[in-house]
């Protein structure tokens, strides 16, 4: 029986005590870890429950002031609300964070709030926020750039042009913005007649040789004769959709016959017969199939800065807000107008 009896000083007793202690510690730490995880999960679940249905403004106020989430986390939440188009909730969060005392990132949050107001279409509120930021920190380029957009969307081109002065002082390139806003101000001025508009637009174009799409879109629509007089053939590819859609009686054969690209374009369209082939695949196909197929060109517009694709022409990209970055792309398509014309003739 002595074999089961261990003395206090027996080394085997120490080993058993040692392993028993290891077991107890391991068990306790495992149990404690499990308990903590369960508690954390319960806390997270309780917290997230508040967001499963969007919190009201009062609930939000309480949540922000309770300080359970850091300011950075609230800002991330506001940004994700804004990204998903829930601007109202994003605005509520920014407003509540701004009410917190001793906010070190006040200007940054005000900027985000102003930008969200802008995206949501509250232009007047957005303007007030940016003016307040600039009153405190006049040399804030991001606030100036967004305020410029706000004024442009409000069609207050005079104020937008004034914003360019401090941006110029901050060594930002404002050449294109100046030209674009001056052209917009002119085109939207009801007191100026179309003749004066065309003259001033040509003057703007000749000075800078920029914004050609915006300027020639107006010129070809209002005074094609004058447009052709100032037309630079090297711009043909950039303005291909405008040229393709010009009425036949608006064409200037002198200019067209002096440019191989224009000769190919109008031969492909079927107005003239001055080219036998073209290095542009679509023109070449149309020249070879002249009269034998019911095809035409369809156009798409790509921003060369952010590569956003648009089904319509633009002067300022609504995605990255760059100016004069329009790139016209075209492809062969079925001519539905001709189809419709033939069908309506068949009913006569």
Residue selected from 23, 306, 334, 341 as contacting Zn ion according to rule CB under 5 A: 306
- CA–CA–CA angle 254, 195, 204 (5° rounding): 75
Report, in Å, the least distance between residue 142 CB and Zn ion. Answer: 17
Query: Looking at 95-103, 143-151, 219-227, 312-320, which segment touches Zn ion (CB under 5 A)?
Result: 312-320
3-state secondary structure the chain: CHHHCCCCCCHHHHHHHHHHHHHHHHHHHHHHHHHHHHHHHHHHHHHHHHHHCCCCHHHHHHHHHHCCCCHHHHHHHHHHHHHCCCHHHHHHHHHHHHHCCCCCCHHHHHHHHHHHHHHHCCHHHHHHHHHHHHHHCCCCHHHHHHHHHHHHHCCCHHHHHHHHHHHHHCCCCCHHHHHHHHHHHHHCCCCCCHHHHHHHHHHHHHHHCCCHHHHHHHHHHHCHHHHHHCCCHHHCCCCHHHHHCCCHHHCCHHHHHCCHHHHHHHHHHCCCCCCCCCCCHHHHHHHHCCCCCCEEEEEEEEECCCCCEECCCCCECCCCCCECCEEEEEEEEECHHHHHHHHHHHCC
Contact pattern from residue 57 through residue 86 relative to Zn ion, giving x for each residue in contact according to CB under 5 A and a dash for the rest: ------------------------------
- Of 50 and 308, nearer to Zn ion (C-beta) is 308
Asked if 327 touches Zn ion (CB under 5 A), the answer is: no
Report, in Å, the least distance between residue 59 CB and Zn ion. Answer: 38
Asked if 326 touches Zn ion (CB under 5 A), the answer is: no
Answer yes or no: are the C-beta atoms of 197 and 187 closer than 8 Å: yes
Asked if 265 touches Zn ion (CB under 5 A), the answer is: no
Asked if 320 touches Zn ion (CB under 5 A), the answer is: yes
Asked if 309 touches Zn ion (CB under 5 A), the answer is: no
Contact pattern from residue 109 through residue 148 relative to Zn ion, giving x for each residue in contact according to CB under 5 A and a dash for the rest: ----------------------------------------
Asked if 259 touches Zn ion (CB under 5 A), the answer is: no
Report, in Å, the least distance between residue 182 CB and Zn ion. Answer: 21
- Of 314 and 330, nearer to Zn ion (C-beta) is 314
Report, in Å, the least distance between residue 316 CB and Zn ion. Answer: 9
Contact pattern from residue 188 through residue 217 relative to Zn ion, giving x for each residue in contact according to CB under 5 A and a dash for the rest: ------------------------------
- Of 250 and 319, nearer to Zn ion (C-beta) is 319
| Number of residues located near Zn ion, criterion CB under 5 A | 8
- Of 267 and 325, nearer to Zn ion (C-beta) is 325
Asked if 305 touches Zn ion (CB under 5 A), the answer is: yes
Report, in Å, the least distance between residue 226 CB and Zn ion. Answer: 31
Asked if 298 touches Zn ion (CB under 5 A), the answer is: no
- Of 20 and 306, nearer to Zn ion (C-beta) is 306
Tokens of 300: 């798409």
Residue selected from 60, 303, 323, 326 as contacting Zn ion according to rule CB under 5 A: 303
Report the C-alpha gap between 129 and 108 in whole angstroms.
11
Torsions phi, psi of 330, nearest 5?
Answer: -135, 160
Binding site for Zn ion (CB under 5 A): 303, 305-306, 308, 317, 319-320, 322
């Amino acid at each position: 029986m002595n074999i089961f009896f261990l003395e206090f000083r027996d080394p085997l007793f120490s080993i058993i005590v040692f392993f028993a202690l290891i077991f107890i510690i391991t068990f306790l730490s495992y149990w404690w870890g499990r308990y903590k995880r369960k508690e954390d999960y319960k806390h997270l679940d309780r917290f997230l429950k508040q967001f499963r249905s969007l919190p009201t403004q009062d609930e939000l106020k309480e949540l922000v002031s309770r300080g359970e989430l850091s300011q950075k986390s609230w800002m991330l939440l506001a940004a994700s609300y804004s990204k998903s188009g829930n601007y109202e909730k994003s605005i509520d969060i920014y407003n509540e964070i701004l009410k917190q005392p001793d906010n070190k990132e006040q200007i940054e949050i005000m900027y985000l709030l102003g930008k969200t107001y802008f995206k949501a279409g509250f232009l007047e509120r957005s303007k007030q926020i940016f003016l307040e930021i600039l009153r405190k920190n006049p040399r804030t380029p991001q606030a100036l750039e967004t305020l410029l957009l706000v004024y442009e969307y409000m069609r207050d081109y005079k104020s937008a042009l004034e914003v360019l002065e401090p941006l110029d002082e901050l060594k930002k390139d404002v050449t294109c913005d100046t030209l674009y806003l001056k052209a917009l101000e002119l085109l939207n001025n009801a007191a100026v007649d179309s003749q004066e508009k065309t003259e001033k637009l040509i003057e703007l174009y000749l000075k800078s040789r920029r914004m050609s799409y915006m300027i020639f879109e107006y010129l070809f629509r209002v005074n094609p004769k004058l447009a052709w007089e100032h037309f630079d053939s090297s711009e043909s590819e950039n303005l291909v959709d405008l040229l393709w859609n010009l009425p036949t009686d608006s064409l200037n054969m002198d200019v067209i016959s002096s440019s191989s690209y224009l000769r190919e374009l109008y031969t492909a369209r079927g107005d003239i017969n001055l080219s036998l082939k073209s290095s542009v695949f679509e023109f070449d196909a149309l020249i070879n199939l002249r009269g034998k197929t019911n095809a035409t060109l369809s156009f798409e517009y790509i921003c060369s800065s952010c590569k956003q694709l648009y089904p319509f022409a633009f002067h300022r990209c609504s995605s990255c807000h760059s100016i004069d970055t329009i790139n016209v792309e075209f492809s062969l398509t079925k001519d539905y107008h001709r189809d419709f014309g033939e069908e309506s003739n068949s009913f006569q």
